Amino acid sequence: MTTTGKTNLLDLDRQGLRAFFAQLGEKPYRADQVMKWIYHRLENDFERMTDLGKSLRNRLAEVACVGPPNILHEKGSTDGTHKWLLGMDGGNAIETVYIPEPTRGTLCVSSQVGCALNCTFCSTATQGFNRNLSTAEIIGQVWVAARHLGNVPHQQRRITNVVMMGMGEPLMNFDSVVAAMNLMRDDLGFGLASKRVTLSTSGLVPQIDKLSEVVDVSLAVSLHAPTDELRSTLVPINRKYPIDELLAACKRYVELRPRASVTFEYTLMKGINDHPDHARKLVRLMRRLPSKVNLIPFNPFPGTRYERSDPEVIEDFRRILNNAGVIATVRRTRGDDIDAACGQLKGQVLDRTRRSATFRKQMHEESTHAA
């Protein structure tokens, strides 16, 4: 429901939409027709859904809407990356980023306003947390970008991949994220193959198991360190779900979902986790399950105490992994001129956790000590 009392159809996956039409006394195929209008033709005006019959169109206009998020601001990078700031309720806003590459176009989507997990090297964490996004607010990001790009599912596909790597921890917003991923993968939705939809998580073990029961999307796991001691300082949720348990859950995921893949994300920070010894320890961990490593050069943001590793160090790190037979790639930094690179998304968060105040205080203390 929206504030206008109308049902936002973007909140419903195919099953939900069919149930909604059944309630209206309509046949299920009407739901399918409406889905095609929404996701294939990117139409949000019932009046233009011309194969629906006048009375149904009027009825829909009374009780429902197709309500994507408002675009507050958008910005293009010199490298073709495009970023949207989308308004949510109150003063909240989230960010969505499109990254074009020669053979694919990836949309990076947010799942929460802010994040509650407090990873020490991520700018979203410094802003605290407000709330989960609804299904409409998640799939609405794809809808807004698709409309801007002239995306036509099955024909002119500008968005070939979606990664849940924007603001927020997607597995903390399980049901809405799963429904939105259903719409991304549904033929009547955006029609993406499951492996082209990637969920990135900081490593919530029970939810990884729960995910394997419902979808076979690609899994990306934010590892960032080869030992519990170090990982707990970077990704605090590691204290609850240490590396052994996390890797076991990833192994169960690929065993249950043989078509899915697991990638481990490893952000390289100077002098923190980029020593050859870390690489060798990582190799040993990677022997436990079929997986790939994605090395991410750290993206700085105001107030951070971390720095990006030097290019030679990143190259050496990758070489150690490759030489040991571990598939490792370095993620190219995109859109950093518009603060759209990994870990730079900020949006606008009305913090309910007081974390942003603590961060500002810390920054202030550090700068006065430095002075």
Identify whether the C-beta of residue 13 lies closer than 8 Å to the C-beta of residue 19: no
Instruction: Using DSSP, state whether 287 is helix, strand or coil.
Output: coil
CA atoms within 13 A on the CB side of 276: 7
Identify whether the C-beta of residue 121 lies closer than 8 Å to the C-beta of residue 298: yes
Q: How far is the CB of 33 from ligand SAH (least distance, A)?
A: 35
Note whether 165 binds ligand SAH by CB under 6 A. yes
Q: Which residue is nearest to ligand SAH (CB)?
A: 343
Q: Which is nearer to ligand SAH, 39 or 298 (CB)?
A: 298
Note whether 265 binds ligand SAH by CB under 6 A. yes
Note whether 69 binds ligand SAH by CB under 6 A. no
Task: Estimate to the nearest angstrom the gap between the alpha carbon of 86 and the chain centroid.
Answer: 15
- The token pair at 357 is 């105040």
The continuous run of DSSP H or E covering 87 comes out as strand 82-87
How does DSSP assign 157-174, residue by residue? -S--EEEE-SSS-GGGGH
Q: How far apart are CA 223 and CA 238, in angstroms?
A: 9
DSSP β-bridge partners for residue 129: 114
Q: Which of 296, 313, 321, 326 binds ligand SAH (CB under 6 A)?
A: 296
Note whether 342 binds ligand SAH by CB under 6 A. yes
Q: How far is the CB of 55 from ligand SAH (least distance, A)?
A: 45
Q: Which is nearer to ligand SAH, 64 or 138 (CB)?
A: 138
Segment near ligand SAH (CB under 6 A); pick from 5-13, 77-85, 178-186, 197-205: 197-205
Q: How far is the CB of 235 from ligand SAH (least distance, A)?
A: 7
Note whether 81 binds ligand SAH by CB under 6 A. no
Which residues lie near ligand SAH (CB under 6 A)?
119, 121-122, 165, 169, 200-202, 222, 265, 267, 296, 298-299, 342-343
